[in-house]
Amino acid sequence: MKQKFSLLMVLCILTGIFGTIIGETTATEGIYVPGSYEVEAQGFGGAIKTVVTFDENNIKSVEVLENIETPGIGSTAIEEMPKAFVEANSAEVDSISGATITSLALKEAVSIAIKQAKGESDESIIMTDGVYEGTGPAYRGNVTLAVTVKDNAISAVEILESTDTYMIGVKAYKQLTEQIITHQSLGVDSISGATVSSNGFFAAMSDALSKAGADITALKAVSIEKRAPETTSFDSDILVIGGGMAGMTAAIQAADDGASVILIEKLGVFGGSTTRSEGYVMGAGTDYQKEQGVNDSADAFYKDIMSVYDIEPLLNADLIKKVIYDSADLITFLQENDVKFEKLVAVSTFEPRATPRNHCSANKGSGLTNALVANLEKKGVKVFMNTAATEIINQDGVVVGAKATNQFGDDITFNAKATILCAGSYGGNVEMMKKLNPNIVAESIKGSGDGDGFTLAENAGAKMLLLDYPQLQYYLFWDGIPKLPVYPASAIAPVKNILLTDGVGKRVANEADFNFEFIAKVYYSGQQEGYCIVGKDFYAQYPEVCEAGLGKTFPSRGDEIALKADTVEELAKWANLDPAILTETVNRYNELCDLGKDLDFNKDAQDMQRIDPPYYIMKLPAVVTDGYSGAVINENAQIIGVDDKPIPGFYAAGCCAVPEMSCVNYYGCGTSLMTCGVYGRAAAQHAVTYCLTK
């Protein structure tokens, strides 16, 4: 068996499969083959890409190219350890205390590079034939797999158990399996957009293969040949950038209308917000509502949404109107494209959100994406994965396609008569969020999208509208908060029998209503946080919620999270509130509880629970979940230029183009996917007509 492997090794060296080095290397009499070796290891936040450079006998430098480790923790290891590796000329250096996972990842990366530079990676891989099970922590739980080893090679991988989503995890597992079997290496890149799933898969593979007796470090050191970058170009009527709800609906509609369509997606899986979403899509007056006995209409929906959104000075009512009046047609379109809805729900039991308008996709966002991806293929849309638009081609004021690149670093030109930008939000780009919304003191920024949509549009001459507010919520949350049964003021696990106040200590909303009612009141109070106040009865029910923040500080903001006190005055002093205002708020709330009727905000009597000492006050910091600033579009989804005229050939839909359709008081989950779908289709319909003139 060893002999077979050695033959394979010789063949591989001849064909360059183990050619791990970036740039030139030289024959040597020393310990190492001089050169630079790129290695990826999994840190705390995700992949850490490292380049280690050797001369004949020494590690010359260790450079971290990419990482998303926690600032102030993992970043310390990233800053300090490279020098230590060089000084020690070894991977065996001290870890940085408090940054163990990052330190171990860096050490692993350097030891893999050392093995590669010594050319010893392959010989130590001796595996015993058999089928081995392994488990690793992936998305929402473990992934367990079975690896078959035959003739000292990985010949099959079967997923036995996984809690991951189909469109992200399962698709990533499939791609990783193919690559690992092809290259007989655990050094393959993780799938972009599926980092957590990839990490879990690698951990499970390592677990299984170590049972087969493999040297895991050596398996990771078997590097992959990357072909040289190429320059290519492709032509189509329509180019769609981004494979979320907006991009997929645009591409399918354009193909339905007879255009040739290319869709490019930056990630290795369809893993944008749409796939990660709950899959709720709003629609009014739909056939599905009729089947379920729900009496609704676009008129009623428009009236409801405008009763909430009317307060925004920058709102464009015509854009909203189009979304609402085209929403029923969107639901039909989705059903025709095999999206299955399993139920209808309302956002709240209170008006104006009490009508069941949310069409809930079976298997949530993953089910929605799965159906649409299948129809992209069915309808002949050419899809390029791992392909990111880098620049919109604007020739004399007319958009004629985009430049892009992929995992090989290719220089790709997509020539198109019309380009539809659907590259999503900047909600996951912390720096961009801070830059675009400097007035929000966020404890956590946890949206999704890296902001390419914003940047591509802006660089191509689009008129950008910057809003003062992103999508934000004030609720009991901080990164690292323990798992709790309820989270005061959250949308996901809310609780009703509490008192919520705005930033000055006044009760401003029904705590049982949709949480954005409360959020809007806090935001417009001009404060950076709200408060939750409870007493001994709530403590008896949820002690862990009351205690979660006691004696702790918010990791980002640095101030104390919660306090237990015997008097309301103490609460007020701690929170820097006017004691008279807070006392009046608590007294009034207790008075209404005793009365059994919420005369102020109409909360159900059963949720009116007195607040008696000892009291607990919890700060509800701003948690940012999405960005609203972006490109201005018209009702045809044409992008408006800085001269206030549509830019010919340039369209946008989805999260990168919603600034005139947003409100601090978000109407609710389901509004976003509806807006993406309506404007994705509108863009396609107008673009196809535009193409006929070209």
Ligand X SMILES: Cc1cc2nc3c(=O)[nH]c(=O)nc-3n(C[C@H](O)[C@H](O)[C@H](O)COP(=O)(O)OP(=O)(O)OC[C@H]3O[C@@H](n4cnc5c(N)ncnc54)[C@H](O)[C@@H]3O)c2cc1C
**CB of 412: closest distance to ligand X in angstroms?**
11
Beta bridge partners of 282: 358
Question: What gap in Å lies between CA 440 and CA 470, rounded to an integer?
Answer: 8
**CB of 411: closest distance to ligand X in angstroms?**
15
**CB of 667: closest distance to ligand X in angstroms?**
10
Q: What residues from 383 to 422 belong to the interface with ligand X (CB under 6 A)?
A: 388-389, 422
Amino acid of residue 628: Y
Q: Which residue is closest to ligand X by CB?
A: 244
**CB of 501: closest distance to ligand X in angstroms?**
28
Closest to ligand X by CB, 243 vs 505, is 243
Closest to ligand X by CB, 252 vs 422, is 422
Cβ atoms of 538 and 378 within 8 Å: the answer is: no
The angle subtended at Cα 407 by Cα 66 and Cα 99, nearest 5°, is 20
Q: Answer yes or no whether residue 671 interacts with ligand X by CB under 6 A.
A: yes
- The footprint of ligand X on this chain (CB under 6 A) covers a number of residues equal to 35
Helix, strand, coil in percent for the chain, rounding step 5: 35, 25, 40
Question: What gap in Å lies between CA 263 and CA 423, rounded to an integer?
Answer: 11
Closest to ligand X by CB, 20 vs 273, is 273
Cβ atoms of 584 and 491 within 8 Å: the answer is: no
User: SS3 for 616?
Assistant: strand
Q: What residues from 243 to 272 belong to the interface with ligand X (CB under 6 A)?
A: 243-247, 264-267, 272
Element (H, E) at 502: none
Cβ atoms of 254 and 688 within 8 Å: the answer is: yes
Task: Work out the number of other CB atoms within 10 angstroms of the CB of residue 672.
Answer: 27
Stretch that binds ligand X, among 274-282, 305-313, 461-469, 600-608 (CB under 6 A): 274-282
**CB of 606: closest distance to ligand X in angstroms?**
28
Q: Which two tokens stand for residue 330?
A: 């969107």
Q: Please pick, from the candidates 424, 461, 630, 649, the single residue that binds ligand X as defined by CB under 6 A.
A: 424
Q: Please pick, from the candidates 448, 510, 609, 634, the single residue that binds ligand X as defined by CB under 6 A.
A: 448
Closest to ligand X by CB, 316 vs 590, is 316
661: nearest Cα among 685, 638, 633: 633
Q: What residues from 219 to 238 belong to the interface with ligand X (CB under 6 A)?
A: none
Q: Answer yes or no whether residue 672 interacts with ligand X by CB under 6 A.
A: yes
Cβ atoms of 342 and 358 within 8 Å: the answer is: no
Question: What gap in Å lies between CA 157 and CA 182, rounded to an integer?
Answer: 12
Q: Answer yes or no whether residue 278 interacts with ligand X by CB under 6 A.
A: yes
* CA distances to 373, 417, 428, 507 from 529, in Å: 41, 48, 21, 13
Q: Please pick, from the candidates 277, 366, 406, 634, the single residue that binds ligand X as defined by CB under 6 A.
A: 277
Q: Please pick, from the candidates 134, 449, 470, 646, the single residue that binds ligand X as defined by CB under 6 A.
A: 449
Query: What is the per-residue burial (b if ≥16 Cβ within 10 Å, else e) of 563-599?
Result: bbbeebebbbeebebebeebbebbeebbebbeeeebe
User: SS3 for 553?
Assistant: strand
Q: Answer yes or no whether residue 133 interacts with ligand X by CB under 6 A.
A: no
**CB of 599: closest distance to ligand X in angstroms?**
34
Binding mask 520-559 for ligand X (x = CB under 6 A): ----------------------------------------
Closest to ligand X by CB, 214 vs 404, is 404
Stretch that binds ligand X, among 180-188, 306-314, 344-352, 670-678 (CB under 6 A): 670-678
Pairing of strands 630-631, 615-626: unpaired
**CB of 629: closest distance to ligand X in angstroms?**
14
Q: Please pick, from the candidates 45, 74, 242, 530, the single residue that binds ligand X as defined by CB under 6 A.
A: 242
Q: Please pick, from the candidates 191, 221, 238, 241, the single residue that binds ligand X as defined by CB under 6 A.
A: 241
**CB of 373: closest distance to ligand X in angstroms?**
11
Closest to ligand X by CB, 147 vs 245, is 245
**CB of 666: closest distance to ligand X in angstroms?**
10
Cβ atoms of 61 and 52 within 8 Å: the answer is: yes
Q: Answer yes or no whether residue 273 interacts with ligand X by CB under 6 A.
A: yes
Question: What gap in Å lies between CA 590 and CA 222, rounded to an integer?
Answer: 68
Strands, E, within 139-244: which ranges?
A: 141-150, 153-162, 231-241
Q: Please pick, from the candidates 436, 669, 678, 683, the single residue that binds ligand X as defined by CB under 6 A.
A: 669
Stretch that binds ligand X, among 203-211, 232-240, 277-285, 308-316 (CB under 6 A): 277-285
**CB of 246: closest distance to ligand X in angstroms?**
4
Long-range contact set of residues 103-106: C-beta below 8 Å, sequence gap at least 24: 103/77, 105/41, 105/42, 105/43, 105/44, 105/48, 106/41, 106/43, 106/48, 106/50, 106/62, 106/64, 106/77, 106/78, 106/81, 106/82
Q: Please pick, from the candidates 423, 464, 467, 687, the single residue that binds ligand X as defined by CB under 6 A.
A: 423
**CB of 522: closest distance to ligand X in angstroms?**
21
Closest to ligand X by CB, 169 vs 535, is 169
Residues engaged in binding ligand X (CB under 6 A): 241-247, 264-267, 272-274, 276-280, 388-389, 422-424, 448-449, 452, 654-655, 669-673, 676
